[in-house]
Chain A
């Protein structure tokens, strides 16, 4: 069983193209400045249509994390235990990612991370690396 790959849509393509080229991107409203949590076609705050893509420095902190022991589907069964984290990026957006290396010393809420990338079944996904 293959892993579920992101079904890329026109409004999210710049994000995934960025991942494929090693660049983390996020959307900001050119009108009100609101950083968008997820890519979309109009701003979730002022509802204007002036969204712009920017490059993130890829640094953030762990908002929360969990170690998954029970895989949701057979595709993830060989990976357990793996770590899922919510990461708040310095620019103000949030990502769900796996933490490279799984459970390890230093994995904690508030810990600084860098976003890297890994290839999974022909797709490049962002992942978190605990900062030194």
Chain B
């Protein structure tokens, strides 16, 4: 089957602390980079989808971006679904080109979250996603909400914090092969377990980074893709799953919407988890990735950390996962964090991932989750 939509250009900016960067400068750099990659001019873009930025809260970020870049597309919007935003933007762009409403849709993200907010500011701003009446008065934070999931996970599966720590260690190993990654020095399980406690059982090195950075993807129709320069990557399947927003209202602490989103995306693509060559899956915390890998069906329940310890998520492993280093070690700049996963999948499928290249990668699985494992979107991407 086919979604009749192709990724024809991608770009990721530098990540880390980028003094002098702004939300719009990062958007523009990512956009121009993706356009150049596709061999397109700004005027070729007839659809724009932006997300959100904590350092530039605005009702109409899509319009702010188009004004800044100097383009006047026939379709423009901004959407907000936390870490699921990037995948949802691409899924929405695919629908726009497949239905004939647009030829080239630019999905663009970027935020100076680290230099614009500081670590304390980002933690405080993100705590606002807690329910204002039934969570925030009790001092909830995003890490604490994920910690509630992690504690239950460890209790039910018998997995250990050391097994979760192996996930962080493998991400750092991946990041060490990426010249742009924010944190490249190797870490050990012992160092993860000795890092500062944040919300038990999660420690500092179980948590994602906070970064400045931007990333963009151009999605083109089948016909329009022929006019682009690079090797098109086909969007073979996409799906979403939504079960709750607040963790107090989650129907389950162990089963989440990734099960549905991935099943839909894989079925649409006509493939199974066993066919996937490389996976780029949202990793806001070590527990996030463990739950998603198991819920999606890549590993048995309680096995993700053990698999990481055995090297199965590494380059040359059974499922090379987050080959750029993920949010845990490459970088996390708001909605761009999820877009980095999509861009890395395209690098892999085009054989441009250099030292971190998965040999002969033909099929990639990309996944984003927003909130507290609340909103999920999965993509299956491929090249022939």
User: Residues on A close to B: CB < 8 A?
Assistant: 3-9, 12, 16, 37-38, 63-73, 76, 79, 82, 84, 86, 94-98, 109, 120, 123, 125
Tell me, in angstroms, the Cα distance from A38 to B140 when the chains sit together.
17
Which residue in chain B gives the minimum CB-CB distance to A96? B248
Known: A7-B132, A64-B149. A70 touches B143 (CB 8 A): yes
Interface pick from B193-201, B267-275, B305-313: B193-201
- Does the CB pair B132–A70 fall under 8 Å? no
Tell me, in angstroms, the Cα distance from A95 to B148 when the chains sit together.
13
Residue from A6, A63, A109 within 8 A of B133 (CB atoms): A6
Known: A72-B124, A95-B248. A66 touches B137 (CB 8 A): no
Tell me, in angstroms, the Cα distance from A16 to B133 when the chains sit together.
10
Within 8 Å of chain A (Cβ to Cβ): is B75?
no
A-B contact list, 26 entries, CB within 8 Å? A3-B137, A4-B132, A7-B133, A37-B249, A38-B134, A38-B249, A64-B148, A65-B151, A66-B144, A66-B151, A66-B199, A67-B197, A68-B144, A68-B198, A69-B198, A73-B127, A76-B139, A82-B139, A84-B148, A86-B247, A97-B138, A109-B151, A109-B152, A109-B155, A125-B137, A125-B138
Chain A contacts of B248 at CB under 8 A?
Answer: 37-38, 86, 94-96
Chain B contacts of A71 at CB under 8 A?
Answer: 139, 141
* A123 to B: closest C-beta gap in Å: 7
Known: A68-B199, A86-B247. A6 touches B137 (CB 8 A): yes
Chain B contacts of A123 at CB under 8 A?
Answer: 137
User: Residues on B close to A: CB < 8 A?
Assistant: 123-124, 126-127, 130-141, 143-144, 147-152, 155, 196-202, 246-249, 253
Chain A contacts of B148 at CB under 8 A?
Answer: 64-66, 84, 86
Chain A contacts of B199 at CB under 8 A?
Answer: 66-70, 84
Chain A contacts of B124 at CB under 8 A?
Answer: 72-73
Tell me, in angstroms, the Cα distance from A96 to B247 when the chains sit together.
9
Residue from B132, B134, B152, B196 within 8 A of A96 (CB atoms): B134
Which residue in chain A gives the minimum CB-CB distance to B244? A37
- Does the CB pair B138–A70 fall under 8 Å? no
Chain B contacts of A96 at CB under 8 A?
Answer: 131, 134-135, 138, 140, 247-248
Chain B contacts of A125 at CB under 8 A?
Answer: 137-138
Chain A contacts of B150 at CB under 8 A?
Answer: 66
- Does the CB pair B133–A68 fall under 8 Å? no
Chain B contacts of A109 at CB under 8 A?
Answer: 151-152, 155
Which residue in chain B gives the minimum CB-CB distance to A87? B248
- Does the CB pair A63–B152 fall under 8 Å? yes
* B208 to A: closest C-beta gap in Å: 14
* A85 to B: closest C-beta gap in Å: 8
Tell me, in angstroms, the Cα distance from A87 to B41 when the chains sit together.
56
Known: A66-B147, A66-B151. A84 touches B138 (CB 8 A): yes
* A83 to B: closest C-beta gap in Å: 9
14 extra A-B contacts, CB within 8 A, seeds A6-B136, A8-B133, A72-B144: A4-B132, A4-B136, A4-B137, A38-B248, A65-B151, A67-B200, A68-B144, A69-B198, A70-B123, A72-B123, A72-B130, A96-B134, A109-B151, A123-B137
* A21 to B: closest C-beta gap in Å: 18
Tell me, in angstroms, the Cα distance from A19 to B259 when the chains sit together.
38
* B308 to A: closest C-beta gap in Å: 22
- Does the CB pair A69–B135 fall under 8 Å? no
Residue from B137, B139, B247 within 8 A of A68 (CB atoms): B139
Chain A contacts of B139 at CB under 8 A?
Answer: 3, 68, 71-72, 76, 79, 82, 84, 98
- Does the CB pair A95–B134 fall under 8 Å? yes
Tell me, in angstroms, the Cα distance from A13 to B139 when the chains sit together.
21
Chain A contacts of B247 at CB under 8 A?
Answer: 86, 96
- Does the CB pair A72–B140 fall under 8 Å? yes
Residue from A6, A69, A79 within 8 A of B196 (CB atoms): A69
Tell me, in angstroms, the Cα distance from A12 to B138 when the chains sit together.
17
